[in-house]
Amino acid sequence: MNQSLAGSNSFPRHLHTLDAVRGLAALAVVFWHWVHFFLQDTPHFQRELQPLYSVFAPLYTQGWRAVDLFFCLSGFIFYWRYSGMVAERTISSRNFFVMRFARLYPLHALTLVAVAVGQQIMMAQRGSYFVYPYNDFYHFALQTLFAANWGLQKGWSFNAPVWSVAYELGLYAVFFVVCFYNFRRWWHLALMSSLGCGLTFSSYPTLHQFGVCTVSFFMGGLAFHGARFLVRCSVSTGALTILSGLTILIWILTPSTPWESVVSAHANGRLRFGVSQLASPLLKLWYNHSFSLIVFPMTIMVVALWEVRWRSVASWAGVLGRISYSSYLLHFPLQLVFAGVAARLGFSYAFFYTPVALWLFFGTLIPLSLLTYHFFELPCQRAIRKWLVRRPRPGEHAA
């Protein structure tokens, strides 16, 4: 008899596979940022010489897409865990944002201070900052307020990868408002994604980037709607297998080349068709955001459905989720340390082309991220939530 999701018509309390995807996405960003080691004192950077390039080439060249995957995962998880609570007023705005603050801010503050100290040491030793140049009091204040990439900055500063966390906080506010007014149907999410697509055509960088993040976040919410619908319909294992195969096919067929590269290839004579044939805004949108619009939502939905089908099989995978936020925020400060120590030991930038450097870095980052999660992130979360989360009095409405 063909098995189905019957008897498992609700999501479990935790989806460990999505934790694993989030952890892997964080590590993909680290590969993308390996180029940091070559942005100074490097006359001719050669991407293909990065360590074990033949194995990790997709991560070195496309790892930036993992940030879009982060937002898509956030959209799925927030619509799964919080949309009903917000709409039904069982969580107040105060408690919602205190919980988000407790999750995100302590490690941000720690890494901001660490990078500020490290950059001053780097300046004293080498006469220049490492990678990101704007490390003054003004940009420190912006970073403290999660405002370093909202259009007020002169350029990249301090622990620059935290820009995505700042945009995520903005999306949390949008999410809370639309759910508070019960705009939670699938077409509401499709409309929000469409508005995000519109913002991506803006020439203003902040609006453009916020639009990119908006598309991914609400497409993640749509992925949750799709997964919940299929669970309620008790989709069979056979149908889920077909859906998985279709997802793999989409991964293969989806263009990974951004629109700008397509136009550049035409200008250099490598494409035979005219740019006018590609000038449609819809085609530009597809080239730049196909992963956010199709690939990532489909992947997250399928992964979640398989865990609903095999509930206890993936519990071990959740450990990767514990390093996701810490590895994302710690990797640049650790790169700063590695670059400084390598210089003091007399190693040239060529050291970071070697597999030894790669294994040494990841062998430090992953254990450090786990330790940070257990001995810093979790204690800070518990303390802040205990201190600031307001429990409603008996008979008092939560909102």
**pLDDT tens digit sequence for 98-139:** 999 999 999 999 999 999 999 999 999 888 999 999 999 999
> CB 313: neighbour CB atoms within 10 A?
12
Rounded Cα distance between 265 and 258, Å, is: 11
Reply yes or no on whether the pLDDT at 1 is more than 50: no
pLDDT above 80 for 202: yes
pLDDT at 270 over 70: no
Q: How confident is the model at residue 263 (pLDDT cuts 50, 70, 90)?
A: low
14 Cβ neighbours under 8 A, 6+ residues apart: 318
**pLDDT the model gives residue 7:** 41
Band (288; pLDDT cuts 50, 70, 90): confident
The b-or-e profile of 207-237 (16+ CB within 10 A means b, else e) is: eebbbbbbbbbbbbbbbbbbbbebbeeebbe
Q: What is the mean pLDDT of residues 151-176?
A: 94
**Would you list the DSSP string of 40-90?**
SS-SS--GGGSTTHHHHHHHHHHTTHHHHHHHHHHHHHHHHHTHHHHHTTS
Specify the pLDDT at position 319: 78
Question: For a pLDDT cut of 70, what percent of the chain falls above it?
Answer: 87
Q: Is the dihedral of CA 43, 32, 352, 115 positive or negative?
A: positive
Beta strand residue intervals within the chain, DSSP E: none
Residue with tokens 């019957």: 6
In the chain, the amino acid numbered 230 is L
According to the model, what pLDDT value does residue 123 have? 94
Predicted local distance difference test score (pLDDT) of residue 311: 67
Helix (H) or strand (E) holding 294: none
**Tell me, what's the pLDDT at 262?**
63
Structure tokens, 209? 């980037």
pLDDT of 199 above 80: yes
* Structure token pair of residue 204: 């203003």
**pLDDT at residue 195, rounded to an integer:** 95
Note the pTM of the prediction, 2 decimals.
0.90
Give the model's pLDDT for residue 46: 87
Token pair listed for 14:
């935790």
The H or E element that residue 92 is part of is: none
Average confidence score pLDDT of the chain: 88
Query: Among candidates 81, 1, 17, which has minimal Cα distance to 310?
Result: 17
Rounded percentage of the chain residues whose pLDDT exceeds 90: 69
Q: For residue 300, give the 3-state DSSP assignment.
A: helix
Whole-number pLDDT of residue 44: 75
So what's the pLDDT on residue 310? 77
CA atoms of 342 and 348, how far apart (whole Å) = 7
Distance of alpha carbon 224 from alpha carbon 172, whole angstroms: 17
Mean pLDDT across the stretch 249-266? 74
User: In this predicted structure, what is the pLDDT of residue 399?
Assistant: 41
pLDDT tens figures, 26-65: 999 999 999 999 987 666 788 899 999 999 999 999 999 9
Note the pLDDT of residue 279: 52
Tell me the domain boundaries of the chain: 16-388
Structure tokens, 81:
């865990």
Q: Per residue in 230-241, pLDDT tens? A: 998 888 889 999
Which residues lie closer than 8 Å to 95 by C-beta, 6 or more apart? 389, 390, 398
Does the pLDDT value for residue 361 go beyond 90? Answer: yes
